[in-house]
Amino acid sequence: MENKPKLSIVIPAYNEKDTIDEIVRRVQNVEFEKEIIIIDDCSNDGTRDIINKISGNNIKKFFHEENRGKGAALRTGFQHVTGDIVIIQDADLEYNPQEYSSLIEPILDGRADAVYGSRFLGGPHRVLFYWHYIGNKMLTTLSNMLTNLNLTDMETCYKIFKTEVIKNINIRSNRFGFEPEITVKLAKKKCIIYEMPISYSGRDYDEGKKIGWKDGVVALYCIIRYKLFD
């Protein structure tokens, strides 16, 4: 792959009026050729109005007329990518776009088909929820057992792909089941996955965090479903 790839940054957003403008600004400040694909998943807090005001020749905007979930928003975004590498970027401020350059290195030098940014490989992170950490470890362990991978952070937002890889995977999950589904399907296709350490500025529920224990149950179901039946 060329040394100066075009990045396609896919940003699913739902009720992120306090952060959407800032995360787009931070992504724009990354010094790569890029397109930014924003998918508003039927926000009802004013996020859509803010997205409508965001301008830029490299920005594509899509709006769901009903709330369908992160997986559905990503599916919409993946249909419109034109870059060499696809990066998933949440619309909050938990993940730092300045780390793109290190995250894409294993793809640029031909070692990887996909890269996961791990919050548990030594990068600085905000200290938050113990039981979220345990739940993440349990889901990652079960995923590893069924896929024979040795990931440390299956549930991470930062998943990066060669465009031809993600374009050839049929995503079915509409919500947070995307994370285990894509992991299982990458493993089934025998894609080469690398993990890279990232920083993590997590937020609590008062600050807008959305994922909860029910999503953990769904993730458990998706790990088994997509390994055994899809």
What average pLDDT does range 198-222 have in this prediction?
66
Q: Collapsing DSSP states into helix, strand and coil, what is residue 59?
A: strand
Residue 206, pLDDT above cutoff 70: no
Would you say residue 2 has pLDDT above 60?
A: no
**pLDDT at residue number 170:** 94
Where along the chain do its domains lie? 6-228
What's the pLDDT score for residue 164?
A: 97
pLDDT above 70 for 80:
yes
What's the pLDDT score for residue 217?
A: 73
Query: Does the pLDDT of residue 89 top 60, yes or no?
Result: yes
Report CA-CA distances (Å) from 165 to 117, 137, 181, 216.
17, 26, 14, 26
The mean pLDDT of 79-99, rounded to a whole number, is: 96
Per-residue pLDDT at 169: 96
Q: Look at the domain 6-228 and name its fold.
A: Spore Coat Polysaccharide Biosynthesis Protein SpsA; Chain A (3.90.550)
Instruction: Indicate the pTM of the whole model.
Output: 0.89
Is 80 exceeded by the pLDDT of residue 146? yes
What gap in Å lies between CA 149 and CA 104, rounded to an integer? 20
* Beta-strand pair 159-162/85-88: antiparallel
Query: Distance between CA 21 and CA 34 in Å, rounded?
Result: 17
For residues 142-151, average pLDDT: 93
Q: What angle in degrees, to the nearest 10, is found between the helix axes of 130-147 and 178-188?
A: 30
Average pLDDT over residues 104-114: 97
